[in-house]
Chain A
């Protein structure tokens, strides 16, 4: 660790513009991880399942949006207009609803029957579900990179030196912030949000309040898929290329983000997402992208070993 910093600090200081540039890139990347991590953390929070298929639901978001973009007659290079963004918004909403439905279905057929089975059973099912989703996307669009049309404005704002932040970066970061704020408010304030937290803490007690826990768990999967679907579209718009197995790595990174922030903790997942995005960006930028996986999984292991409750783990005593 120390050696890394010794290597890193002088290089960062010698070219501050590059440092800032990587920061921008890392935040935009991290915003997407944050959206995925929220779904992991919500599902884990409520049924203590690491939903390995969640990363693939994210990919599915990008995949399902592609034919819709065609169906809405949107073509790359058309001038940015209110109509274009309105159409994208409608597409995003349709995708989120479809994915919500898919995820509720996954929970219903793959996880609910195993709710009282030993922990390992649903975990294995989740891995299986991940393979099924990736397989389906592979059959659908093949193994190659697929181009995702570029609709976001291309301009950049200078940050001094040679560093700049693109409108694209700003849009991605802003969208993620909006989603996190809306979700947090919803979970804290709404009746369904309270039911979700109650179910997460004590299912029997939740039922005694009159909470239908099956419906509440389904709602959690629905909301997780909405966020992942939005993340998939945002990823496509930002990177302009998607592939069937995108969710594998993105999912593991987002899972690390969720663990880092304290699994089950919404704000933690958002912060963890940004952190992992930054780690990835700096690793890619200053070292080599081949090492990025190593850093990130080292973080995962270190957190699991030394601080399993994560950065913002549940701090309230369980009496």
Chain B
């Protein structure tokens, strides 16, 4: 059984029909990339999974369990971490408090402490800024904090919405390295990226979203070689 399944989902913002029968599934341990142009519905797909914008039709299932209409706050507790578009860290709180909030649903103090230590090892920059106020971090540091905070919930699946957006090339490489590390440690990843080539390179499979519909899917190799995908998303 797939770890995470989205089954014929329709999602609306008021009258805007953002997702139109989107289906995708992710196996445990995979990295899956979702590509598509601006406004295709990538962010909406993640919001539908994490419960921020629940689907009107169709189902979202985690290990076969229907979570479509659970409140977002509960879905995190089941093991879906969502690092949202635009970082969305808490600007007026310390870096440490941001991390503490990431583990809001957890009760295992010892485990939280261990994970915080681990996360700070992954992101040494975040450790250096631990006592600073979130809003004073640079863009790249904020992005790292957002990922670190997402990991603090100890997710089985991590949803990453454009984690490299606006970062200097050297930081982009770092972020991709870390994504791979996190995955090796056992976290399944659903990734959205502008940088489609890089994203597909680290992924096992990919989906292409166009105006609210999945138009193509397959192993990354196939997508990277597809002329349509190359023309539309890889800038080749």
Contacts and interface: CB of A to CB of B under 8 A. Distances in A.
Contact of B153 (A197, A207, A209): A209
A208 B50 contact: yes
A195 B104 contact: yes
Contact of B73 (A194, A213, A316): A213
Nearest to A188: B97
Interface in B138-184: 139, 142, 149-150, 153
A207 B90 CA distance: 12
The size bracket of the interface on A is: 20 to 34
A206 B149 CA distance: 12
Given A194-B97, A195-B104, 8 more contacts: A207-B52, A208-B76, A208-B84, A209-B102, A211-B73, A212-B73, A213-B73, A316-B136
Interface of A, secondary structure class, is helix
A210 B97 CA distance: 14
A182 to B, nearest CB: 19
Given A195-B104, A316-B133, A317-B135, A207 B71 contact: yes
B93 A198 contact: yes
Contacts of A318: 91, 135
Contacts of B73: 207, 209-213
Interface in A181-229: 191, 194-195, 197-198, 201-202, 204-213
**Chain B CB within 10 Å, residue with most, of A211, A317, A319:** A319
Contacts of A204: 52, 84, 88
A86 to B, nearest CB: 36
Nearest to B83: A208
The size bracket of the interface on B is: 20 to 34
Given A194-B100, A319-B135, A319-B139, A210 B105 contact: yes
B150 to A, nearest CB: 8
B213 interface: no
Contacts of B72: 207-208
A202 B142 contact: no
A255 B93 CA distance: 25
A43 to B, nearest CB: 17
Nearest to B80: A208
Given A316-B136, A319-B135, A319-B142, A210 B77 contact: yes
Contacts of B82: 208
A208 B53 CA distance: 12
A314 interface: yes
Given A204-B52, A205-B84, A316-B136, A210 B104 contact: yes
Contacts of A210: 73-74, 76-77, 104-105, 153
A198 B134 CA distance: 12
3 A-B pairs closest in CB distance: A210-B105, A207-B72, A205-B88
B101 interface: yes
Nearest to B81: A208
27 contacts: A191-B104, A194-B100, A195-B104, A197-B90, A197-B93, A201-B90, A202-B90, A205-B89, A205-B90, A208-B52, A208-B72, A208-B88, A209-B73, A209-B76, A209-B102, A209-B105, A210-B73, A210-B105, A211-B73, A211-B104, A212-B73, A213-B73, A316-B91, A317-B91, A317-B135, A317-B136, A318-B135
